[in-house]
Amino acid sequence: MDVRIVETLAMLEIGDGVLTALFPVEHYSRWEFGPWAPAMAWFKERPGLTRALGVAQTVAAVAVAASLSKTPGPAWTKS
């Protein structure tokens, strides 16, 4: 997969993770509609767990971004 696509996805995940960590109830309230509403309500009712998951999501996305190839092309090169 191209490094720019993976980096873009990592940036989206970092942003989502930070919003989840800082504003767990508000962030999930904004997405509480449609077929996934019950799942969003579950997370909204557990702000401590939701905040921890947001931190973990951010850390994982930063780790992925740090592991990417330094040049355009494949996201990861075999050593």
Q: Would you call 2 helix, strand, or coil by DSSP?
A: strand
The whole-number pLDDT of residue 71 equals 87
The whole-number pLDDT of residue 77 equals 80
Residues with pLDDT less than 50, the chain: none
The whole-number pLDDT of residue 15 equals 98
What radius of gyration do the chain's Cα atoms show? 15
Q: Are 42 and 69 spatial neighbours (Cβ–Cβ below 8 Å)?
A: no
44-58 pLDDT tens trace: 999 999 999 999 999
